[in-house]
Amino acid sequence: QVQLVESGGGLVQPGGSLRLSCAASRSILSFWIMRWYRQAPGEQRELVAIITNGGNTNYAESVKGRFTISRDNTENTVFLQMNSLKPEDTAVYYCNTYDSGHEYWGQGTQVTVSS
């Protein structure tokens, strides 16, 4: 089992940047993949970015070129660097992984993009 704790959300103006962090309770090398999702009220949950234990990454088309997922294996932490933020990026962002037949989720961190 693993505990995931997100942090780094907040209020930012359009065009600004935030860096989200997801701290895991054990080595993220234990997981084949780490993922960031987001969900706005009344909207479907959206897969934003993924990173594998081999370092491969992929992004939703809506964030490609603006967001970067990365990891620090020594700190058991996955990051989501968000640049050029838009109001439509406003959502609760969740860290997620899969292990031994179970999905694990953090509690989420709120990102609000508004002037």
* pLDDT tens profile 17-64: 999 999 999 888 788 899 999 999 999 999 999 999 889 999 999 999
Distance CA(105)–CA(57), nearest Å, equals 19
What's the chain's average pLDDT?
95
The token pair that represents 98 in the structure block: 């899969």
Distance CA(38)–CA(69), nearest Å, equals 14
Indicate if the pLDDT at residue 97 is higher than 90: yes
Sequence-distant (6+) residues with CB within 8 A of 70 are: 51, 78, 79, 81
Q: Is 63 helix (H, G, I), strand (E, B) or coil?
A: coil
